Chain A
Amino acid sequence: MNGSARAVGRGLLFISPWLAGFCGLTLGPALLSAWYSLTDTTLLDPPVYTGLSNFRRMWSDSLFWIALRNTLVFAAMNSIGVTAGSLGVAVLLHRAPARVAALARAVIFLPTVVPVVTACACWMWVFNPRFGILNSALTAAGATGGPDWLGDSRFALASLGFMSVWVIGSPLLVAGAALREVPRSLLEAAAIDGLGSGGRLWHVTLPAISPALMFNGLMALIWSLQLFGPPLIMTRGGPEHATLSYSMYVYLCAFSYGDMGYACALAWVQLALTLALSAAVLVVGGRFVRYRTT
């Protein structure tokens, strides 16, 4: 028994960096945030307990609903776009000759390591209605100019969604690794059964890599529900609040309107929402995912 207690002590000692971080920077702040969400906390004044009034205020807060809707729309665009896009590119890379694939992979991965501020500056120029390469390309393709991607409330959020598919490095690697592990024997058996390459992709490869796709979709969902940098930097939430994201609204409430208690309440709703959506994706997606039984 003594030995086991020592073992536990030693284990805890080794993981203490993580444990300290978890308690001090995650669990502690989370509990603190739960308390603040029940108070009115401005910039400097001590908190005043107000019960659930922060949560009640959300109901009639139009910007809360707008931010929520925008974030959900973005999350849907992003998680579908990133999962499908990374799968498509991974299939291309998988089929291309090794040297070509290595070069292409290096380039496609690059945006993943670029700082978000740089990426935003870059894309503000891409989206520029008059000089941007997007509209220039449209003009070159025969269209009479394109829309003002970021300045038009009908396009702004979709533009951010489009831009977010630029960063697919990690899901691409996950999908690529999964593709390499699809058993050759299965593919060959399917070919003998007369399945074309499309059929093999649909009936053999996709089920085999479905856990990886599920993982990618889930990670993209969690990430995109936190969207913060691009709308803050590129559009400041505009036009007509079309790109106001949830995290950005939390930031604004805390630091622009000086309403920290409300911001904490918003953050808790965001956490609950993230967990609920992740669980939903896991449950619904779980029906389509086939885990290999080994």
Chain B
Amino acid sequence: MSADDGNRGARAGRGRLWVCAALAFVTAAYAAPLLNMVAVSLRQASSAATPGLDPLPMIRDASGRSLARTSAAYWSTLGLDAARNYRDVWSGPGSDFPTYLRNSMLVALPSVAGAVVSSCLAAYGFARLRWRGREVLFLILLATLMLPQAVLMVPQYLLFRSAGLVGTFAPLWLPSCMAGAFSVFLLRQFFRTIPAELDEAARIDGCSHLGILWRVIVPLSRPAIALVALLQFVASWNDFLGPLLYLNHQDRYTLTLGLHLYLAQQNQVPWNLVMAASAITMAPVVVVYAFSRRFFTEGAATQGLKE
């Protein structure tokens, strides 16, 4: 190994150290707001509003002395405070978070099922069938990706109103059951990578197109389908404008709408409870994300850029 090589190696090592340090900073900055939220959700109302960067609150005992971080009393008090906050949110008057949670599920799960089925069908039509007009329609589909959805807020609302669907989950289900442009695009790109010989073989065996889709394409496209399902789940779970416009009665609120109205209550809810409610709202998506991270962070975008 020459001296020059060693020098370069040392430089590369130093560079890598810098990269890691910068990355650690960025990561910490991205995690801080959420960690802070969880930290505040554990505190008592009186200590929620204290300045400083310390994630853990100062806890005083009955005589007003502050408890040491290492003492068992400190942690048991903290645990009890946290439990009280979450219980207050969960069963507090005026809000009904258990019902909101269930409604979010009721919105998200059928949306996912509808999105997967409809997108698979449409993507098959765009990827595996040859017919006149296909390219034009696909271009239109791509163009709708660029259409700001907010533009359609009022007319869609009036349309659902004239159909008598305001106040039901249908306005939240229907758009996702109508094969969203991005899902179709994603699946089409994936379906096109599957060799055409497989279709032919299946057709010789007497499969219909639906049969081919179900027996050949779908089993080979599981990662892409899973991604579509996950994206739809996150989109439905996180939807805010939809519930804001279409859900009116408390027994229909989803978590996002429930949390918004909880935040917007006239006599403002204390911060520690707001944070606990926020943590409850985000917990399901975070859990799903934690166990399916690789679907999100690998593969999603590469498919989207091929053309």
Interface residues of A (CB under 8 A from B): 4, 7-8, 10-22, 24-26, 28-30, 32-33, 36, 89, 92-93, 95-97, 100-101, 103-111, 113-123, 125-126, 130-131, 133, 135-137, 139-140, 166, 169-170, 173-174, 176-178, 197, 211-212, 215, 218, 222, 225-226, 228-229, 233, 247, 250-251, 254, 260, 263-264, 267-268, 270-271, 274-275, 278
Residues of B within 8 A of A254 (CB): 153-154, 157
Residues of B within 8 A of A108 (CB): 26-27, 30
Give a binary string over B243-271; 1 marks a CB under 8 Å from any A CB, 0 the rest: 00000000000011001100110000001
Name the contact of B23 in the complex, choosing from A28, A92, A251, A274 (C-beta under 8 A). A92
Residues B129 and A10 in contact, CB atoms below 8 Å apart: yes
Residues B158 and A133 in contact, CB atoms below 8 Å apart: no
Interface residues of B (CB under 8 A from A): 15-16, 19-20, 22-24, 26-27, 30-34, 36-37, 40, 48-53, 117-119, 121-122, 124-126, 129-134, 137, 140-141, 144, 146-159, 174-175, 177-181, 184, 209, 234, 237-238, 240-241, 255-256, 259-260, 263-264, 271, 274-275, 277-279, 281-282, 285-286, 289, 293, 296-297, 300-302, 304-305
Residues A173 and B240 in contact, CB atoms below 8 Å apart: no
User: A29 with B159: in contact, given A118-B282, A131-B51, A212-B305 (CB under 8 Å)?
Assistant: yes
Q: How far is the CA of A222 from the CA of B231 in the complex (A)?
A: 19
Residues A105 and B297 in contact, CB atoms below 8 Å apart: yes
Q: How far is the CA of A221 from the CA of B305 in the complex (A)?
A: 17
Residues B19 and A33 in contact, CB atoms below 8 Å apart: no
Residues B148 and A7 in contact, CB atoms below 8 Å apart: no
Residues B281 and A117 in contact, CB atoms below 8 Å apart: yes
A-B contact pairs, 15 of them (CB 8 A): A17-B122, A25-B178, A26-B152, A32-B155, A89-B23, A92-B23, A96-B16, A100-B23, A108-B26, A108-B30, A113-B238, A177-B301, A228-B150, A250-B150, A254-B154
Q: How far is the CA of A268 from the CA of B147 in the complex (A)?
A: 11
Residues A18 and B179 in contact, CB atoms below 8 Å apart: yes
Q: How many A-B residue pairs have CB under 8 A?
A: 294
Residues A267 and B178 in contact, CB atoms below 8 Å apart: no
Name the contact of B155 in the complex, choosing from A16, A29, A278 (C-beta under 8 A). A29
Pairs A-B, 10 closest by C-beta atoms: A21-B178, A14-B125, A11-B131, A17-B118, A29-B155, A173-B301, A18-B179, A33-B155, A15-B125, A247-B150
Residues of A within 8 A of B130 (CB): 7, 11
Residues of B within 8 A of A120 (CB): 263
Q: How far is the CA of A106 from the CA of B177 in the complex (A)?
A: 29
Residues A89 and B26 in contact, CB atoms below 8 Å apart: yes
Secondary structure class of chain A's binding surface, majority of residues? helix
Name the contact of A115 in the complex, choosing from B158, B181, B255, B300 (C-beta under 8 A). B255
- Shortest C-beta distance, A270 to chain B (Å), equals 6
Name the contact of A33 in the complex, choosing from B24, B125, B151 (C-beta under 8 A). B151
- Shortest C-beta distance, A193 to chain B (Å), equals 16
Among B24, B153, B184, B237, the one with the most A-chain Cβ atoms within 10 Å of its Cβ is: B153
Residues of B within 8 A of A212 (CB): 305
Across the two chains, which residue of chain B brings its CB closest to A13?
B125
Q: How far is the CA of A17 from the CA of B50 in the complex (A)?
A: 53
User: A97 with B16: in contact, given A17-B122, A263-B154 (CB under 8 Å)?
Assistant: yes
Residues of B within 8 A of A117 (CB): 240, 256, 259-260, 263, 278, 281
Q: How far is the CA of A22 from the CA of B145 in the complex (A)?
A: 11
Residues of A within 8 A of B241 (CB): 228-229
Across the two chains, which residue of chain B brings its CB closest to A269?
B151
Residues of B within 8 A of A25 (CB): 152, 156, 159, 174-175, 178
- Shortest C-beta distance, B108 to chain A (Å), equals 11
User: A133 with B36: in contact, given A18-B178, A113-B286, A115-B281 (CB under 8 Å)?
Assistant: yes
Additional A-B contacts beyond A26-B152, A125-B33 (11; CB < 8 A)? A7-B131, A14-B124, A18-B181, A25-B175, A26-B147, A104-B27, A115-B282, A117-B281, A122-B275, A222-B146, A233-B260
Residues B302 and A177 in contact, CB atoms below 8 Å apart: yes
Residues B155 and A264 in contact, CB atoms below 8 Å apart: yes
Residues of A within 8 A of B20 (CB): 96-97, 100
Residues B156 and A225 in contact, CB atoms below 8 Å apart: no
